[in-house]
Amino acid sequence: METRRPTSPLAEEILGLYFPVLDHGFVSLIDYMGSDEDVERAARVSYGYGTRRTSETRGLIRYLRRHRHTTPSEMVELKFHCAMPIFIARQWVRHRSACLAEGTEVYFDLPASMRRNVRQLYKLKIEDIHRQFQRTSNRTRPDKQRNAFFRADRLKGMRLRQIDEDGLTLRQTELVNVFDSGVKAVFRMVLADGKSIECTSDHRFFFSDGWKTLSEATGLDGSRKVATWKVGSYFIYVNGSSQAVPALYQDRDWLHDQYKVLSKPIGEIGALCGVGPHTVRKWVRIHGLTRGGRRAFRPEPWNKGRAYRLGSRVLSTRWIEANRQARSGAASNFWKGGMSPERASIGRWTTQRAHLVHERNHWTCQLCHARASELHVHHIVPVWADESRARDDANLTTLCGACHHELHGRELEYVERLGGPPVDASWQRSPRVAWNNLTVAKLVRIERFEYVGEKRTYDLEVRGPHHNFIANGIVTHNSLNEYSGRYSLMPLLFYRPAPEQIQAQSASNRQGRSGAPLEAIYPEAIERWERVRQLAAEQYAWLVERDVARELARIDLPLSTYTQWYWKIDLHNLFHFLSVRADPHAQYEIRAYARIIAGMLKRVAPLSFEAWVDYELCGAHLSRAELGALRRLLRVADGDIESPGAARVTAEELAALGLSKREIEELCAKLAKPPAADDFDLDLAAARPAEHFARLMEAAVPRVDRR
């Protein structure tokens, strides 16, 4: 099918091909959106069509890279399918790809309510969480920021709502970090119960058949500026329905056994029944089961030994200023800003129309036909039955207070009597469930998708064991879609280093290798590794065959076990990844992956890639002292750079400029850096189809025999 979006012929040539890395790993470019043209288009919008009078795409892109204007490069996105050893995955830069749009509300439980064994909802917008995580955004120390109650350390201690994926019950976790994922195309998902959330098409949600992205589950196409998806019924879990807990604490015999016979604390009894200690204490008093003790009789006054200060309290200027700041703006109890809920808006409109409705009805109740001092305005067709009639003057009538009270709860019985339309069978009041009792996730059908446009997006990282959280009442997940050993059997493929990679520890770099292979110990090292891996593989297969949970069976697999994931990243963050992981100081194994990814990027955005190589990979940043050393060797005159004679700067002179011994070594390495880098060309002959690695992974999955 022909597409209108910009494409790169060189990228189309490798799209969907799998390039082997190490012994069992691979990298595949499965999709991309954008090219050098998109970077140029975004730059000319941001910086103007006349920026430095740059008329060529190459010149503009090099200008952007040279001056570190990175925002336009966020317009290009790439999607990869990768397989790597777990120890490589753990040092992989975990950029968030699937994200939630600004305005999404994240659900917390207030800690004071949790101590009472109830849930009190507290919502924070995801962009506010990100802003409050920026510790130096206002150039002050974290403990001196304007509102100390919203520092990052306090946010990390809040109770974030999440779902236990095994029992589907509501639990709490903690926030680890929040990420700004840039501006992306966003869709709105609307559910049958009215909930909605704005996110990218590859964000994962908890569907009835497990965790899936919207694209995988519904076929939502994220590459177009219109919402298109496959027709069908799709159900996802939301922050759902109340769980009935037997009120055993009201049974006198049961409470007597627990409290008097077994001597259990009131808090423990409340935890058994799902209520707070105050509720249990009330029923202990009702049934006359109060224990005797120090609280039953006080031989001394309760306030003995306490001192009191009479007179007005002297408030310091610092306290007054802190109190003023804490109560200003949206943090104040008297805040009047924001938007009213729809029901409050309808109620205000109804109140404003009341005198007109009463005047039309001659200040007479339309049920008892009597004049009364207390008159109410009543919706003939209730708002909950048909909200489209909420602001219809013809749907309003006058009732006295007594008739309105009698009618309450039986509105449909009086619709036709008050001159309304015939009762529709679909008018059914939904059962009201208090939000603080929503303890079990429930399934709700997806109604539709809507394309919203491009918005700034964010993602959260939460503490385990279940990496999900509640946003806008919907169970949502983190973005990196890694192969899950909780749901699938792990392929027992292990990484074996080549002989030249078994090297001694570097004497100068505590994180690196010396470069000298230890060929003498290679056979014994491989033999020892194989023994450990064989034992771990046999243990894993033995546990799985006996139906032990896979999340437990996997815990002893070594870090050399291969895993895989789908990874999406924009061009700006990919350049940062390659700058760190394609560097000669990076570990050899992850450098091998970075080289393949760089070769793919070279085909997607060749001009941006060329600028990155020239200014980042083969370039160098100089400090003030390093520039001072170069100025002693070079002189600028009339636009030319010349060397005044046989100038030389000794190590002692460099030290006098403020450079340490290590900085001097690094400066010499920068100046001796070779001008040419790896060409990063891909070997197309080594590429394999997806089926090749699928068969490899399938063959490595242990065969389970549960006889």
- The DSSP bridge partners found for residue 563 are 84
> Which secondary-structure segment (H or E) carries 124?
strand 121-125
> Which secondary-structure segment (H or E) carries 628?
helix 624-633
Q: What is the pLDDT of residues 618-646, one digit of tens each?
A: 777 777 777 777 777 766 666 666 676 66
With bands split at pLDDT 50, 70 and 90, how would you rate the model's confidence at 5? low
With bands split at pLDDT 50, 70 and 90, how would you rate the model's confidence at 563? confident
Q: Provide mean pLDDT across the span 225-235.
A: 88
Q: Coil, strand or helix: which one is 688?
A: strand
Look at residue 144 and tell me whether its pLDDT is greater than 50: no
The least confident of 89-98, 166-175, 660-669 is: 89-98
Q: Outline where 292-353 has alpha helix (H).
A: 317-326, 342-352
Judge if 598 and 692 occupy the same domain: yes
- The DSSP bridge partners found for residue 169 are 440
Q: Are 60 and 43 in contact (CB under 8 A)?
A: yes
Look at residue 602 and tell me whether its pLDDT is greater than 70: yes
Burial 258-278 (b: 16+ CB within 10 A, else e): bbeeeebebeebbeebbbbbe
Domain-located, residue 277: no
Per-residue pLDDT, 635: 65
**Residue 342 in tokens:** 């729809």
Per-residue pLDDT, 364: 93
Q: What is the pLDDT of residues 261-290, one digit of tens each?
A: 888 988 888 878 777 788 888 889 888 888
Domain-located, residue 507: no
DSSP 177: E
Domain-located, residue 306: no
Q: Provide mean pLDDT across the span 645-656.
A: 73
Look at residue 533 and tell me whether its pLDDT is greater than 70: yes
Closest CA to 88 of 627, 594, 607, 672: 594
Classify strands 105-109 and 100-101 as parallel, antiparallel or unpaired.
Answer: unpaired
**Sequence-distant (≥ 6) Cβ neighbours of residue 316 within 8 angstroms:** none
DSSP 284: H
**Sequence-distant (≥ 6) Cβ neighbours of residue 215 within 8 angstroms:** 201, 202, 221, 222
Per-residue pLDDT, 219: 87
Beta strands per DSSP E along 166-265: 170-173, 175-191, 196-199, 204-207, 210-213, 235-242
Residue 392 backbone dihedrals phi, psi, to 5 degrees: -100, 120
Q: What is the pLDDT of residues 690-702, one digit of tens each?
A: 888 878 877 877 7
CA angle 426, 431, 437 (to 5 degrees): 155
264 or 656, which is more confident: 264
Q: Are 121 and 436 in contact (CB under 8 A)?
A: yes
Per-residue pLDDT, 405: 87
* Arithmetic mean of pLDDT over the chain: 78
The last residue of one of the domains, among 383, 414, 445, is: 414
Q: What is the pLDDT of residues 36-51, one digit of tens each?
A: 888 887 777 655 544 4
Closest CA to 146 of 365, 330, 270: 330
Classify strands 468-471 and 18-21 as parallel, antiparallel or unpaired.
Answer: unpaired
The least confident of 76-80, 145-149, 394-398, 572-576 is: 145-149
Judge if 603 and 557 occupy the same domain: yes
Q: Up-side HSE of residue 448: CA atoms within 13 Å toward CB?
A: 6
Per-residue pLDDT, 363: 92
Domain-located, residue 341: no
79 or 490, which is more confident: 79
Look at residue 318 and tell me whether its pLDDT is greater than 90: no
Judge if 545 and 691 occupy the same domain: yes
**Sequence-distant (≥ 6) Cβ neighbours of residue 633 within 8 angstroms:** 643, 647, 648, 649
> Which secondary-structure segment (H or E) carries 219?
none
Per-residue pLDDT, 96: 47
Q: Are 614 and 64 in contact (CB under 8 A)?
A: no
Domain-located, residue 330: no
With bands split at pLDDT 50, 70 and 90, how would you rate the model's confidence at 509? low
**Gap between the Cα atoms of 295 and 299, Å rounded:** 10
Judge if 225 and 122 occupy the same domain: yes
**Sequence-distant (≥ 6) Cβ neighbours of residue 580 within 8 angstroms:** 93, 586
With bands split at pLDDT 50, 70 and 90, how would you rate the model's confidence at 587? confident
Burial 409-428 (b: 16+ CB within 10 A, else e): eebbebbeebebeeeeeeee
| C-beta atoms surrounding 527 within 10 Å | 9
Judge if 118 and 215 occupy the same domain: yes
Domain-located, residue 351: no
> Which secondary-structure segment (H or E) carries 299?
none
Judge if 83 and 195 occupy the same domain: no
With bands split at pLDDT 50, 70 and 90, how would you rate the model's confidence at 446? very high
Look at residue 510 and tell me whether its pLDDT is greater than 70: no
Cα distances from 445 to residues 9, 191, 438, 646, in angstroms, run 41, 6, 18, 79
**Sequence-distant (≥ 6) Cβ neighbours of residue 139 within 8 angstroms:** none
Per-residue pLDDT, 49: 47
Judge if 64 and 139 occupy the same domain: no
Catalytic residues: 581
Judge if 656 and 687 occupy the same domain: no
Q: Hunting for tokens 């894993």 — which residue is that?
A: 540
Domain-located, residue 696: yes
Judge if 149 and 225 occupy the same domain: yes
With bands split at pLDDT 50, 70 and 90, how would you rate the model's confidence at 53? very low
- The DSSP bridge partners found for residue 162 are 171
Q: Hunting for tokens 């120090």 — which residue is that?
A: 294
With bands split at pLDDT 50, 70 and 90, how would you rate the model's confidence at 432? low
Look at residue 463 and tell me whether its pLDDT is greater than 50: yes
**Gap between the Cα atoms of 221 and 312, Å rounded:** 67
**Residue 672 in tokens:** 């001796």
Q: What is the pLDDT of residues 337-357, one digit of tens each?
A: 555 667 788 988 999 999 999
Per-residue pLDDT, 2: 54
Instruction: Tell me the CATH number at 175.
Output: 2.170.16.10
The full length of the chain comes to 707
Q: Are 104 and 472 in contact (CB under 8 A)?
A: yes
Total domain count, the chain: 4
Judge if 80 and 158 occupy the same domain: no
Per-residue pLDDT, 149: 46
**Gap between the Cα atoms of 383 and 343, Å rounded:** 9
**Sequence-distant (≥ 6) Cβ neighbours of residue 120 within 8 angstroms:** 109, 110, 112, 113, 436
Q: Coil, strand or helix: which one is 484?
A: coil
Judge if 43 and 108 occupy the same domain: no
Per-residue pLDDT, 155: 78
Look at residue 442 and tell me whether its pLDDT is greater than 70: yes
Q: Provide mean pLDDT across the span 661-678.
A: 69
Q: Provide mean pLDDT across the span 466-483.
A: 73
Which residue range(s) make up the domain with 387?
A: 367-414
Per-residue pLDDT, 334: 60
Cα distances from 242 to residues 92, 118, 161, 168, 434, in angstroms, run 41, 12, 15, 12, 8
Instruction: Tell me the CATH number at 695.
Output: 3.30.1360.170
300 or 357, which is more confident: 357
Judge if 638 and 692 occupy the same domain: no
Residue 605 backbone dihedrals phi, psi, to 5 degrees: -135, 75
Q: How many helices (H) and strands (E) does the chain have?
A: 24, 24
The least confident of 119-128, 178-187, 532-541, 654-663 is: 654-663
Amino acid at 269: I
The least confident of 1-10, 175-184, 570-579, 661-670 is: 1-10
**Gap between the Cα atoms of 228 and 163, Å rounded:** 29
Omega of the bond prior to 465 within 30 degrees of 0, cis?
Answer: yes
**Gap between the Cα atoms of 551 and 487, Å rounded:** 8
The least confident of 15-29, 393-407, 478-492, 627-641 is: 478-492
